[in-house]
Amino acid sequence: MNIQEVARRAQVSTATVSRTINGSDKVKANTAERVRRAIEALNYFPNTNARALGSGRSRLYGLIISDITNPFFPELVKSFEDTAVLHGLEVIVSNTSYKADRAELCVQRMLERKVDGVAIMTSELEPQLLERLKSNGIPLVFLDTGTVGEDTSNVLVNYSKGIDEAVDHLVSLGHERIGFISGPMTLPSARTRREAFLESLRRAGISLRKELIVEGNHRIDGGRMAMEELLQLTSLPTAILASNDLTAIGAIGSIHQHGLRVPQDVSVIGFDDIEISAALYPPLTTVRLSRSHIADRAFHALFSANREPGSRGAEYIVQPELVVRDTTAVRIKPRALHRIDKGKMSAKKQAR
Amino acid sequence: MNIQEVARRAQVSTATVSRTINGSDKVKANTAERVRRAIEALNYFPNTNARALGSGRSRLYGLIISDITNPFFPELVKSFEDTAVLHGLEVIVSNTSYKADRAELCVQRMLERKVDGVAIMTSELEPQLLERLKSNGIPLVFLDTGTVGEDTSNVLVNYSKGIDEAVDHLVSLGHERIGFISGPMTLPSARTRREAFLESLRRAGISLRKELIVEGNHRIDGGRMAMEELLQLTSLPTAILASNDLTAIGAIGSIHQHGLRVPQDVSVIGFDDIEISAALYPPLTTVRLSRSHIADRAFHALFSANREPGSRGAEYIVQPELVVRDTTAVRIKPRALHRIDKGKMSAKKQAR
DNA sequence: AGCATGATTGTAATCGATTACACGTGTAAC
DNA sequence: GTTACACGTGTAATCGATTACAATCATGCT
């Protein structure tokens, strides 16, 4: 079953069939109708490989992520795919598994399949790999990876806004001893979140205590370990802001393990709002970073780059927003806390 | 950059280059070496579309799942992909989103891309769609979907084993009033799990109490709601077996909300062992259903079907196994329970 | 009628591989 | 010294679309 058989049945040339399939406007209405009937009757569908080979366009977008088992990504992938399918395109997803050599394989796959665009949401891609993509004229869009480039698009996240909201929320509940568990400092976006936190503290007029800032790894175990460290302090934080939800989940586990309660003894805020966060008990207060917004912007960046070749890259900013659930509460009276150093509870602090 | 340029540089024909790329054994060693050097020097890689068009084989496997945001699937996808990449193949993943009409699109995609095989882990595919795949000579493997078919392979799950282990564990802890929260009864595998539970009870000599069996939906909210229902009973279950981990997580949330503790007041066992289960607090006791085993078997079913065309479908069985963590404990004294109907606490029961 | 014009449609080259078949060449058997 | 055969390589058809260009057709205008 191929285009020739359709052409024969519809009494037209293959060119006309092809034009009809591709919605060219230069096919007379009733010819097109005849072709469509033939397609229907023969149950024909075009061979994707032949189309791609003939036209040079694959109708495929690539999406490079770190790791599909990281719960942040599936939703992103799904939104991106859904939007793509809606526009008659498809998506191949490739995981770098956080490794640079796997990243090269990912890029290779994209090149071999002649994708029409690549959305990159990982920091493992070395400049020379990006160059390979660019030099093949493939539109790129970076998601939260802030790579500057005139011909590439960027979807940026306004971390400051989200983190400001989180800190303000905690401050309004009376917290001032706020701990922060960061992501791995090797990850640019983790560094940005940390900076945003420091800036938020400053803005809120809270002086920085270095011992309250601990590095995690954006995974549950990292959150757990970082929290262990924080719980060793003589003067415990009354609230924790975590660089992502998994970290927050780990921290909460650790807090419980020490016989403390969330949010009565310690408030916790996460970041991302992964699906499970709302379903935990207690439901996690967190800063939502909408994956569907990100995916949408990314798709449209590529789509318009395809429509208008040679156009400059666009820039989009997505705004995270605080979602208050049940892991944050009014700051408790210090005496209710374990391990609290009563000597440090000066009147001045109590007054605040 | 194409195969001709490589041929020119290596002073051979395109046929020889092609043979070298495909590892044909009928190329003299030093000719092959010369070709390889040319490929290297020119930074050449073959055009996937042309290869697929010319050979009829796409080196692509399709994987059809219900929903990538269901945490059961990402690991499966990853394992399947990893194995495929290891064998020089690639994978396209397609979500049915639990809808039959989306399923048709998925099958269409597979057909259009001329995949060399499809692994199906969803029950949305209607027989006529399967027929379309089969009639195109595409090898199929069903994962936990138990479709009989002479020419298709199956990866089956020995639910009885896993559920027996779970029930035995609970019984050994002194539980006999064991509740079960099933998946949606429309889902074959959910029905199988339920049957396995009933059979396990029988084997353990525990008489069935219908009110302890409630239907969920394999999602967190379903687990929560089902548990609410169970907590209305005058005689509470002391242990709950859930049809999957999400259900268990929902149930635990509900239990906590009622001021009861897990496992001191109620023991809970999940099923699947999704990644987050180990990281919750308390870590969930569950029955592990290894996604990597399933993916491996599935891949090899397709791979060998490709190697030996015309061979009959194979059948694999994967064995789930109980993973004891912290949501199960020795059955408590009934008087410690809320809402317990003291009248029913007969000496006979206490004696067991 | 003759012609310009724009709208449709057809012809055939093209994309970049794979592979059936043909063609040399060297070696062993007779 | 043929003949046969295996091995290595090249020639060219083929896969199934797309699309530049050519051809045809209908229409309105002079």
User: Apex CA B61: angle with CA B56 and CA B66, to 5°?
Assistant: 140
- pTM metric for this prediction: 0.89
Mean pLDDT of chain B: 91
Q: What is the pLDDT of residue B174?
A: 95
Average pLDDT score over residue span A284-307: 95
Q: Is A161 helix (H, G, I), strand (E, B) or coil?
A: helix
Asked if A276 lies within 8 A of B249 by C-beta distance, the reply is yes
3-state SS assignment for residue B148: coil
Instruction: Tell me: pLDDT of A347 over 50.
Output: no
Q: Would you say residue A95 has pLDDT above 60?
A: yes
Q: What is the pLDDT of residue B313?
A: 85
CB contact under 8 A, B90 and A85: no
* Residues 111-170, chain A, touching B (beta carbon < 8 A): 111-114
A233-284: pLDDT as tens digits: 999 999 999 999 999 999 999 999 999 999 999 999 999 999 999 988 889 9
Q: Say if CB B179 and CB B213 are below 8 A apart.
A: yes
In terms of Cα–Cα distance, which of B265, B257, B261, B215 is closest to B237? Answer: B265
> Under DSSP, is residue B297 helix (H, G, I), strand (E, B) or coil?
helix
Q: Is the pLDDT of residue B352 over 90?
A: no
Chain B residue numbers with beta carbons less than 8 Å from the beta carbon of A67 are: 78
Q: Do A280 and B280 touch (CB under 8 A)?
A: yes
pLDDT tens digits, one per residue of B29-86:
999 999 999 999 999 999 999 999 999 999 999 999 999 999 999 999 999 999 999 9
Q: Which B residues, 34 through 73, put their C-beta within 8 Å of a C-beta on chain A?
A: 45-50, 52-53, 58, 67-69, 71, 73
Question: DSSP label at A34?
Answer: H
Per-residue pLDDT at A7 exceeds 80: yes
Positions in chain C where some atom is under 7 Å from a protein CB: 7-12, 14-20
Q: Report the residue from B78, B112, B256 with minimal CB separation from A45.
A: B112
- Res. B312 pLDDT band, cuts 50 70 90: confident
pLDDT value at residue A344: 44
Judged by CB atoms closer than 8 Å, whether chains meet at A279 and B221 is answered as: yes
**Alpha-carbon Rg of chain A, whole angstroms?**
26
Q: According to the model, what pLDDT value does residue A123 have?
A: 86
Best to test chain B binding among A1, A59, A68, A273 (most B CBs inside 10 Å) = A68
Task: Report the pLDDT value the prediction gives residue A281, as an integer from 0 to 100.
Answer: 84
Q: Does residue A27 or residue B167 have the better pLDDT?
A: B167
CA B243 – CA A154 distance, rounded (Å): 43
Looking at residue A308, its pLDDT comes to 83
Across residues A68-81, what is the average pLDDT? 94
pLDDT higher than threshold 90 for residue A83: yes
Burial B241-273 (b: 16+ CB within 10 A, else e): bbbbbbbbbbbbbbbbeeebebbebbbbbbbbb
Computed over every residue of chain A, the mean pLDDT equals: 91
**What is the predicted pLDDT for the residue at B334?**
57
Q: Once rounded to an integer, what is the mean pLDDT over residues A184-195?
A: 94
Residue B309: is its pLDDT beyond 90? no
Strand-pair partners of B269: B241, B285
DSSP reduced 3-state for A148: coil
Listed range (A149-163, A209-223, B224-238) with the worst mean pLDDT: A149-163
